[in-house]
């Protein structure tokens, strides 16, 4: 089965946008189903890009800051900040945030449930819980699938966890019970997958990769042809079967075609796969553009060391990631911190305090330059092993681990440019 056929069959029914009456253009422009988005995410290139985004956004963590509106702190703001940090730590927020970010990129939505001591009265906020089935988690909608909007707040009325097999088991959530991380480049409430722009390109890339694989396989393992019998001595069916068995015992991984002398096998072998490979490289460049991530992050280690990123491209990428951090920071503030204050510190006036999330700066330093400098400094003894590991956000080595040997006696051997 071709890759495109697999992607189509894996999605199940797609009434109105993927049935037999849908044109290719309509399917190309239609929003993708969760199954199609998952198929796109399974592509190794896309998968690595999404994890790279999440890693760069979250790997250095975040710190919270609570102050008065004039920017100064007080005993009360210090106590609130400490209490909220303890709440995030005890709720294992870091490990809940990462899969939520991945879900936001893939499905356009990710969510965390807020757990109260009394779900009915929304008493003290105790912790957070992950939404396991994010695919079937959605806004509450009317019969026309429009999001229900609260007339007083002008925001979504609530959420629903659907059970497709047993609709009677659907669970409704108030807005105060959910921190909803969603992506929509147009500013609306509807979730919009980060993978939407590159799905069709990824599908084409998968088909090209299948073609490359088949071409390489056929060049490496050509079809073996066996001809049995002649005009004077025609072959019987049993003789043809015996010849096929004999040939199959002599080779491995090759297709065998045994026939009588009246038939002729014509095989058209690929002359070159360069054109196919160049098309695949074009698809990679399109994925890089669609995901707004430098090509170097879509390639293997060998290419990473041979590729440099311009300062402009790197800064553009860092600006995008920092924008994602600010967006998520606003959700944490409005949908978690403010709820935490209202329930756990009801006497505190939110208008008198200011909450701010600080994200450590995402370094724009070239990775190869950093690696070379660390290598030299380690060999010269300028930096210890643990100091070098700290620049790479790695844990200190255990005492029994071998340190970097100091073999270089002169720094003149190295040219730092």
Q: Which two tokens stand for residue 271?
A: 């002359």
| Residue-level pLDDT at 88 | 94
| Residue-level pLDDT at 408 | 37
User: How far apart are the C-alpha atoms of 115 and 89, rounded to whole Å?
Assistant: 15
Residue 245's CB is within 10 A of a number of other CB atoms, namely: 11
Output the pTM of the full model: 0.69
| Residue-level pLDDT at 318 | 85
Which H/E stretch holds residue 213?
helix 199-220
User: How far apart are the C-alpha atoms of 229 and 247, rounded to whole Å?
Assistant: 16
pLDDT in tens, the chain (417 residues): 333 332 332 333 333 344 444 454 455 557 889 999 999 999 888 988 898 889 888 888 889 999 999 999 999 999 999 999 999 999 999 999 999 999 999 999 999 999 999 877 778 999 999 988 999 999 999 999 999 999 999 999 999 999 999 999 999 999 999 999 999 988 899 999 999 999 988 888 887 777 767 776 666 677 777 888 888 888 888 888 888 888 777 776 677 878 887 777 776 655 555 655 566 677 888 888 888 888 776 665 444 444 456 677 778 888 899 999 999 999 999 999 999 999 999 999 999 999 999 888 776 554 444 445 555 555 555 556 666 566 555 566 665 554 444 443 333 333 333
| Residue-level pLDDT at 175 | 93
| Residue-level pLDDT at 271 | 58
| Residue-level pLDDT at 269 | 59
| Residue-level pLDDT at 20 | 45
Please provide the DSSP assignment of 56-95 as one string. Answer: HHHTT--EEEEEETTS---HHHHHHHHHHHHHHHHTTHHH
Q: How does DSSP classify residue 254? A: -
- Alpha-carbon distance values, 369 to 282, 284, 374, 405 (Å): 28, 25, 9, 20
Q: How does DSSP classify residue 149? A: B
Q: Which two tokens stand for residue 106?
A: 């893939």
| CB 323, CB 283: distance < 8 Å | no
DSSP β-ladder status, 137-139 and 159-161: antiparallel
| Residue-level pLDDT at 414 | 35
């Amino acid at each position: 089965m071709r890759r495109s056929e697999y992607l189509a069959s894996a999605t199940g029914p797609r009434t109105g946008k993927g049935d037999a009456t849908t044109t290719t253009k309509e399917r190309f422009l239609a929003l993708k189903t969760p199954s199609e988005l998952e198929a796109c995410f399974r592509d190794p290139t896309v998968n690595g890009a999404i994890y790279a985004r999440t890693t760069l956004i979250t790997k250095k963590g975040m710190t919270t800051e609570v102050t008065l509106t004039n920017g100064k702190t007080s005993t009360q703001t210090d106590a609130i900040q400490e209490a909220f940090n303890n709440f995030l730590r005890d709720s294992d927020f870091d490990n809940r945030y990462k899969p939520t970010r991945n879900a936001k990129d893939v499905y356009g939505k990710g969510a965390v449930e807020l757990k109260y001591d009394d779900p009915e009265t929304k008493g003290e906020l105790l912790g957070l819980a992950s939404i396991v089935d994010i695919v079937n988690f959605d806004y509450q909608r009317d019969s026309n699938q429009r999001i229900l909007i609260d007339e007083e707040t002008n925001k979504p009325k609530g959420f629903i966890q659907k059970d497709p097999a047993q609709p009677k088991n659907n669970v409704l959530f108030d807005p105060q019970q959910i921190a909803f991380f969603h992506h929509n480049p147009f500013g609306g409430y509807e979730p919009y997958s980060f993978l939407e722009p590159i799905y069709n390109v990824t599908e084409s890339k998968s088909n090209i990769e299948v073609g490359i694989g088949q071409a390489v396989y056929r060049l490496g393992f050509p079809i073996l042809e066996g001809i049995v019998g002649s005009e004077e001595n025609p072959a019987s069916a049993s003789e043809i079967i015996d010849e096929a068995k004999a040939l199959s015992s002599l080779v491995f991984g090759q297709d065998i075609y045994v026939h009588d002398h009246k038939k002729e096998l014509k095989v058209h072998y690929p002359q070159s796969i360069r054109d196919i490979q160049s098309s695949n490289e074009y698809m990679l460049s399109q994925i890089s553009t669609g995901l707004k991530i430098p090509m170097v992050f879509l390639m293997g280690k060998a290419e990473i060391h041979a590729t440099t990123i311009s300062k402009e491209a790197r800064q553009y990428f860092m600006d995008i990631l920092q924008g994602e951090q600010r967006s998520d920071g606003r959700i944490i503030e409005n949908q978690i911190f403010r709820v935490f204050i209202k329930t756990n510190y009801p006497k505190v006036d939110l208008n008198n305090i200011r909450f701010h999330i600080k994200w450590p700066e995402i370094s724009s330093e070239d990775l190869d330059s950093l690696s070379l400098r660390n290598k030299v400094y380690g060999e010269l003894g300028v930096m210890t092993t643990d100091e070098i590991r700290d620049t790479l956000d790695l844990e200190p080595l255990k005492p029994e681990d071998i340190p970097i040997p100091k073999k270089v006696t002169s720094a003149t051997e190295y040219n730092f440019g």
